[in-house]
Amino acid sequence: MAGTDLVQALTRGLKILEMAAASTDGVRVPDITEALGIKQPTAHNLARTLVAQGYLVRRAAPVRYALGPAVESLANAGSRRQWREIAERSVRALHEAQPAATVILAEWRAGDVEVSMRLHPSHPDHVEINPAMRLPPHTSASTLCFQAFAPQPEVADFRRRYPYGETATGPWRDADALDAFLAEARRAGAIALSDARLHRVAVPLHNAAGRFAGTLGASYAADAGSADALLRSVVAEAKRLCRHLEQIP
């Protein structure tokens, strides 16, 4: 008979998770016994096992079970995988549009802006994943993009960690001049820096909820192409990437 080879305990555990997800206050053991047609000790043991694995949390007065952090972690892992696959395609596409450029995708991690993906023109077929690159606070287009577009609490924390003037400060004479540059970048929607050596560009990435998700950036030698061409390529690819981000739950 179809279904007779299913693992009964697993099926019951999944049903309990469905019940907990459908409940605003959590599900009680008597609810579980009635819905699954099992004895109370069995229901209790199933719930206790799910609590031990983090898929449920136990609440008291009265005792009931709600979804635990492992459920969210599982869902986030899937979203994170989707994000990485889409981001890598965008990094490669940007490199194809600008073969002389070094392309990076950066994210906010535990108080720093770090490179999540990097594609260097010397190795055009290889996207480095998490290359352990922490970006400088005031001279990287990506960290400046973060300061211009990320949520204010995270930016304030970043600036407490890296007060202006304690590290290389770029071309700005003081913090007020930097803030004026960042305000103009917000109006323009991107960071663009050029000097005699390099053109550097970074564009913010936002998800479906409008939350800051990271930056897409690129740089190349000043004699390798125009700053405007680099900016157009990065902006165009960032827009495509954000459209894909909107499809990720």
Q: Look at residues 239, 244, 237 and name the one whose alpha carbon lies nearest to residue 86.
A: 244
Distance of CA 128 to the CA centre of its chain: 17
- What is the reported pLDDT for 199? 94
- What is the reported pLDDT for 49? 93
148-152 contacts, C-beta under 8 A, 24 or more apart: 148/182, 148/183, 148/185, 148/186, 148/191, 148/204, 149/186, 149/204, 149/212, 149/215, 150/108, 150/204, 150/212, 151/211, 151/212
Pairing of strands 191-194, 198-206: antiparallel
d(CA 207, CA 249): 9
Cis before 62? omega within 30: yes
- pLDDT of the chain, 249 residues: tens digit per residue: 445 577 888 889 999 999 988 888 889 999 999 999 999 999 999 999 999 998 899 988 888 999 888 887 777 676 778 878 888 988 999 999 999 999 999 988 878 889 999 999 999 999 999 887 889 999 999 999 999 999 999 999 999 999 998 888 889 999 999 999 999 999 999 999 999 999 999 999 887 777 888 899 999 999 998 999 999 999 898 888 888 776 666
pTM higher than the cut 0.75: no
